[in-house]
Every structure is written in structure tokens, then in C-alpha cells.
Amino acid sequence: MDNKTSISWRHFDFWLLGAVALLVIFGITMIRSAVAGNIELEELDVVTRQLIFAIGGFVVVLITASIDYRLWASVSRTLYLGTAILLAVLTVVGAALFGSARWFDTGVILIQPSEIAKIVLILVLADYFSRNQENIRDIHWVIRSFLMAMGIIIWVILQPNLSTSIVMLVLWFAMLWAAGLRVKHLVTFGGGGLVILALLTPILINADIIKGYQLDRVTNFLFPDPNASYGETYNIEQALISIGSGGWFGQGYGHGSQVQLRFLKVRTSDFIYSAMAEEFGFVGVILVTLVLVFVIYRCMRAARLSQDTFGALIAYGVATLLAFQAAVNIGVNLNMLPATGLTFPFVSYGGSSLLSSLIGIGLVESIILRHRSLEF
């Protein structure tokens, strides 16, 4: 190992990696509690699957960190085209054969390309914005960046996967702001976007791009049925009961009644936050949330320390991705937002989601490795 490599690895952010490892280990432990006694989930061996993705993901973190993040700029167009083609093939073939499809079945594991597409979008937008900073006030520049993002997002919408497409739109909007667009322009684009969405929604519904179950989620959120015994309303009610029954310190690991008796549905992914609240209480979920906030802070710190705009935008994009998904997941569990299907980063079950988040952390570590001074 040469001296340059040795010096750069001394800047590796072990605080960031340690916090992420803590969340992943806790998530696997929580998933194990959530599936206990559920024969179907135990047969799927979801705990082992998540553990395999976690181990592979941390290897990917080290590999990604060792690669100079600036090299991704040179292949961003290739990544963009490859991702768009992959999503298009998945969408078209899935629609033709199964009605819809979001995963590639490798025979061993399922891979969800739209999760990896989030990271690709961050890289592509970071490269585009960093190369065109002088055009920040040019409306054509902004429109082009939006169309570029839509080249990937449209295929995710058609899967259909509305929640992930919303995450990608948020990434575009946040990175546009980080690139230097003025707040008044952001408000204008945001307001215009809402108007366009309102006008397009009936068309999307008639074209069956927005599905009935997606509309039901919004309807159930706005006008809940207190007597529902199944569906999204029932799931939210059970989530709230789980959170309330946890109290300050919880019922104990493996002893949550709503979790162990399986009243709480989708408890390994969408509603794992409620499962945590029941078994570890208010104090427990606050501690887990604070660890994730620390991870987001370290990503923002990497953006501040980056030697160039490209690296800063990557780190900012990863921080936005983690923060937005966590906020939405918590909001759904607290019945403050309609059910979306977004996972709680690093904790919820989902191999592709975990791998995507860990790739993002690897990129952030690569940026930190190549800054000039180490700060704490």
C-alpha cells in the first residue's frame, strides 16, 4: 500500500460506518422478532436474506469508497442510459407477462432496479448540475434537468411504483436547490408542478397509470373507515395501537402483543417503526431515529468538506434520500401521511433498498476519503 492510499484511508469516516452498522444490526434483530412464529415468513427465511444483503452491502461500501467518486462523472451518461433501458425492459416485459413487475428474479434473490436507480439519478444530476453551474438561472437548463430526470422516473411510474417516483422527484428538486437555484424560482417551479400534477391526475387515472389501490390509500387517509377490518385503514389503526401500547420503554424485545400475535401487518418493512415502538417504546424509537439523524448529519458534513461541487451534490443527494424516506415512513406510521410503501432506511426489510442505501454511504465515504482535513 502506497503512502497516498494509507493517508487517504485514515480519513475514512468510521463514525458514519459505525452508525450505519448499528442501524443495520438493529434492523435484522427487529425483523427476527417481527417474523417469529409466522410460518410463511420463516419459510421465506427473510432474516437470512436480509443478513446476506447486509454483508454484501458492507463489502460494496468498502469497494465504492475505494473508487474515486469523480470517476462516476465520466460514466454517468452510460449509467443513465443503462438504467433507463433496464427499467424500460422490466416495465414492458413485466406488463406483457404479469400485468406489472418491479423485480428481477435471479433464482436466488429478487433485485428491484428502481432502488438502484435512485443512486444513479443522484450521480447523473450531480454531474449535470456541477457541469452547468453557470446556467443556473436559465429556464432551459432547469427544464432539461427535469426531462433528464423524467427519462428514468417515467419507467418507475409505469411499473407502477408511485412512491419511488415521488422520491426521485424530491431528489431532483432538492439537488436543484443545492445547485444554487434561488428560493423564489423553486417556489415557482414547485407551484407550477403542483398545478400540472392536478391537471394530469385525471388523465393518469383514465390511462390506468395511477392504480385504484393507490387512490384508495389517499381516500382511506382522508376519509378513514373506523369499522374497517382489513386494508390500509386497518393497517394504520394497528400501527397506532402498537405505538400506543409501547409506552415509554416498550413491552420488551419479542413481547409486543400486536407484533407477536400478528395484528400488525407489513411489520417487517412499512410498519417496522410501529413494531419498534411497541417493543422498545418511545425512548427506543427516539434513539434509533437519532442514530439515523447522525448518519444524515455525517452525509451533510461530507457535502461541506467536499473539494468540488460534484462530490457535494452527491453527498447532499444521499442525505436527502435517507431523510425523506425516513420522514415519510414515520409519517405513515403516525397516520400523518397516506400509506406509501417507503421503507425506514437500514432497518426495514428489503434487500434492494438496503443495498441502495449502502451504496450511497459508500459514495459519501469516497468523498470523505478525498478531502483535505479530517474533522469531528
Percent of the chain predicted with pLDDT > 70: 78
Any domain includes 336 = yes
Sign for the CA dihedral angle at 116, 340, 85, 131 comes to negative
Residue with cell 423524467: 150
Q: Does pLDDT of 100 surpass 80?
A: no
Number of independent structural domains in the chain: 1
Range of 226's domain?
Answer: 3-369
Q: What's the pLDDT score for residue 368?
A: 92
Any domain includes 374 = no
251 near 278, Cβ under 8 Å?
yes
Q: What's the pLDDT score for residue 112?
A: 82
Any domain includes 110 = yes
Instruction: State pLDDT tens for residues 189-212.
Output: 677 667 776 666 676 666 555 655
The better pLDDT of the pair 26, 112 is held by 26
* Bridge partners, 104 (sequence order): 111
Any domain includes 376 = no
DSSP for 6-60, written as a single string? HHHHTT--HHHHHHHHHHHHHHHHHHHHHHTT-HHHHHHTHHHHHHHHHHHHHHH
Q: Does pLDDT of 229 surpass 60?
A: no
Any domain includes 375 = no
Any domain includes 73 = yes
Map residue 348 onto helix, strand or coil. coil
Q: What is the mean pLDDT of the chain?
A: 83
Q: What's the pLDDT score for residue 60?
A: 95
